[in-house]
Structure 1
Amino acid sequence: MKKYESILKSKVQTKDSKSKLHPRNRNRKRYDLKALIEVTPELENYLKPNKLGEDSVDFSNPTAVKLLNKALLKHYYNIKYWEFPDNHLTPPIPGRADYIHRMADLLAEKNFGKIPTGDKVICFDIGVGASCIYPILGITEYDWNFIGSDIDKESIGSANQIIYNNDTLKEKIDLRLQKNSKDVIFGIIKEDEKFDLTICNPPFHSSTEEATKGTRRKIRNLTGKTSKNPMLNFAGVSNELVCDGGENKFIQNLVRESKKHSKNCFWYSTLVSKQSNLKGIYKVLDKVEAEVVRTIPMGTGNKSTRIVAWTFLTSAEQKEWVKERWKKQCD
């Protein structure tokens, strides 16, 4: 097995910062609750003292979590409309933003340290979800264009409504329905289509029972209490959280399918929540003969995760890609 390169986490931090977050993350410092309540007044109804007696959001309550993230998008990203059905996954904005920033850094490595921005950069979001969160962040931060796929029609419809009601997102996102639930990218990518990176937040659990156990554990960590019938504090319909074989099988399928489109994309990538899955993922990446594989540590609060990214492009092909797609716009 080849030696896998790892990108070290930044050590830049301040007293009030969430030190694991990327230096460019707008939510690196502690939440400014006063500013967030000004843009989303309902959030004030869901504050409660933390262990230090300070006002904090009730993270065990899904309504509170959704209002917090809506406020973050309004205050920091100028997103005026962010509505989607309550049964869908509410993504934590700081963690999602970190993924975008770290992939931007990965693109910059091959572009003389300068992050490529603007319309010529196309990002493929596998499983865009009802919240459309990765396109929102990628467009706001770097003005990238996006392709977003999902197997759920309701998610596609909801994401389209978010795009329609925010002028900054219009003409920037192409949403596509994945009609075959067994495929990840097959049927979505056109034969001659090029995109600069893929991002993916795969279903984490292999069964509903496993998802429920995870929620109980999360609530216990947040509140110190045990719940027999917990509500997911970030919600999520079944296809967002559960798939046959869980995260491990989903990512291995993605890797195999990416081989068939090896020259369509510069960097494929995915989140990998379970460190125990890395060995199997690396094994499949060896089998499909990925040219370069990177493992990028990431984390928020007490949670640690990582991005695994890979490319099939040779060094010469990478240089040609940069010259043809990014160089002119970055000069």
Structure 2
Amino acid sequence: MALNNYMHPRNVYKTPPDFAKLAKIYPEFSSVTIMDVSGKVTIDFKDPHSLRILTKCLLKSDFGVDIEIPEDRLVPTLPLRLNYVLWIEDLLLAIKRNDNVWGIDIGTGACAIYPVLAATKNKWNMIGTETDPESLLKAQENIDRNNLSYFIKLSKNTTTSLVQYLLDSELGQRFDFCMCNPPFYSSIQELCESRNPSRHPPKNGFTGSPQELVTEGGELEFCRKLIDESKVYKDRIIFFTTMVGHKYNLKELLNDLASEGIKHTHTEFCQGRVTRWGLAWTYQDHDIYKLVPPRDKLRKKSLPIAYQLTELPNRPYEIETCSEKIKEILNELQIEKKILSKRGKSISMHIKALKNTWSHQRRKRRLLKRQEEQEAKRMRSDSSGVNESSQNESLEKLQRVVNSAININHNNNNGSILESQVTENNISACQEPILQAFLKIFKKDDAILCEIEYLDGNAGKEGLHQIVQYIKNNWK
């Protein structure tokens, strides 16, 4: 389902662009358009070249700037970028900051898209930082071509810090905000496994270079590093902000800020079929949560499943013990897990299932036992002259039956029982998960609780309830 209804109310792209009109104005855009049988003008959104031309022409049409987007760099999605800028506008308007605004864009990229939008739309003064020399060169060319050097300065970051190196060199300069669109992934494999099949196939083609998409520790560690640096420079920047690509990372970052008593708020950036999240925090006197409250409450929220974990026989009733037991059960179900954080009284993890291994366990066991008994009976009734090859053939048949029984799956959409088409041999490194969830084990008073929140996946919330029931059934 398209999410345009949840886009920022001031975003001009709430109403989709008129491609036919755009094609008449820009011949280069006309060259990549397609007309369907109904006469509607569109483009191939899976073609990076078409995306590049579309973004270039929209920037010309709606913002009056001529931006060159390198073929080997990320094509910025304008509705998303504009959502972020508009949210920062909301933060600044809430504290009546609208004159002589100064901002920092961490990792500005080859297009310097955030500084360009901020400067052309709001006349904000921006400093864009970048570690990649080639992207920095292209960004400067774009700024010079559009005569934006009065508003936008670029700074090459040769350090491992995010804002420290800049603030140490810009002595005395105070900024209203910093913003960043951090690389979402910690590795190419994580990038490959990131999309779940419950969503429609990707509408847009893949663009971006490794340095734009991957960073050590992924976006969670990147954002935590920014939080750490913000503590040192809390008097130099009013609002620290970042985009977040994974909801489970947003939850962890919200916990990080809350645990240290740092005032914060967050929002959803909805556009097309994509949701991202914005996170902002401040050390100033502003009650940021009340001034700009979270926007994700506009849509129906998924309430977590919470229940108490009972004591295990002959094992201490501790967070670590319960965590190890849950890991054992998840391993039985072949559910992947990633520890997000360990605090004194809580452990958080992201869990991901590639196939349904938890549904209809009794049915699987009964079927397996029946097939084994039938096969054993048939083998006993065979004549004593059965040769070894026949026995091997029978064993192979039994193994196929066992594998078939194990792979019985539940189709959430219509409630029917289907035989899974997934086997160990065809699970590729880039297989999409059928369920992702956020799991937290924490101590409250003298009890240890487990809280599991559905994130996405076509197994749905029903699949998550089945996993919870499996954990309960196999706890002791």
* Superposition TM-score, scaled by structure 2 size: 0.56
Q: Secondary structure at the match of 2:270?
A: strand
1:110 partnered with 2:82: no
**Distance in 2 between the 1:95 and 1:234 partners?**
16
Alpha-carbon spacing, 1:154–1:22, altered in 2? closer, same or farther (3 Å): same
**Distance in 2 between the 1:216 and 1:278 partners?**
18
| Larger Rg over CA atoms | 2
1:207 partnered with 2:179: no
The superposition leaves residues 108-159 of structure 1 with CA deviations (integer Å, 9 ceiling, x where unpaired) of 1122xxx614xx1001101100011001111122110101101111111111
Contact 2:104 2:178 in 1 (8 A): yes
Contact 2:102 2:176 in 1 (8 A): yes
Residue 221 of structure 1: how far off its partner (Å): 0.6
**Distance in 2 between the 1:216 and 1:306 partners?**
18
1:72 partnered with 2:58: yes
1:34 partnered with 2:20: yes
Residue 263 of structure 1: how far off its partner (Å): 0.4
Residue 170 of structure 1: how far off its partner (Å): 2.5
Moved more, 190-199 or 137-146: 190-199
**Distance in 2 between the 1:219 and 1:308 partners?**
24
Contact 1:127 1:151 in 2 (8 A): yes
Alpha-carbon spacing, 1:177–1:51, altered in 2? closer, same or farther (3 Å): farther
The residue aligned with 1:146 is 126
1:186 partnered with 2:158: no
The superposition leaves residues 277-322 of structure 1 with CA deviations (integer Å, 9 ceiling, x where unpaired) of 12321233245542x2011122102222211100011249xxxxxx
The residue aligned with 1:86 is 71
- Which amino acid letter does the alignment assign opposite residue 110 of structure 2? A
2:246 to 260, 274, 280: 274
1:96 to 42, 62, 81: 81
The residue aligned with 1:312 is 283
Q: Which runs of 5 or more residues in structure 2 are unaligned?
A: 288-476
- Which amino acid letter does the alignment assign opposite residue 92 of structure 2? L
Q: Quick check: which one's strand share is greater?
A: 2
**Distance in 2 between the 1:85 and 1:101 partners?**
26
Contact 2:250 2:277 in 1 (8 A): no
1:176 to 155, 168, 183: 155
The residue aligned with 1:299 is 270
Contact 1:194 1:264 in 2 (8 A): yes
Alpha-carbon spacing, 1:65–1:218, altered in 2? closer, same or farther (3 Å): farther
* Superposition TM-score, scaled by structure 1 size: 0.79
Residue 35 of structure 1: how far off its partner (Å): 2.8
Q: Which runs of 5 or more residues in structure 1 are unaligned?
A: 1-15, 224-231, 317-331
Contact 1:256 1:288 in 2 (8 A): no
The superposition leaves residues 234-281 of structure 1 with CA deviations (integer Å, 9 ceiling, x where unpaired) of 521111100111111111111111111100011110011111012321
- Which amino acid letter does the alignment assign opposite residue 273 of structure 1? G
Alpha-carbon spacing, 1:50–1:139, altered in 2? closer, same or farther (3 Å): farther
**Distance in 1 between the 2:82 and 2:228 partners?**
27
Contact 2:180 2:241 in 1 (8 A): yes
Contact 2:188 2:214 in 1 (8 A): yes
Contact 1:60 1:233 in 2 (8 A): yes
Note the 1:153-302 alignment, pairs <5 A: 153-167=133-147, 169-180=148-159, 182-189=160-167, 190-214=170-194, 221-222=201-202, 233-286=205-258, 288-290=260-262, 292-302=263-273
Q: Secondary structure at the match of 1:187?
A: helix
Contact 1:150 1:177 in 2 (8 A): yes
The residue aligned with 1:55 is 41
Root mean square deviation, CA, Å: 2.6
Contact 1:298 1:307 in 2 (8 A): yes
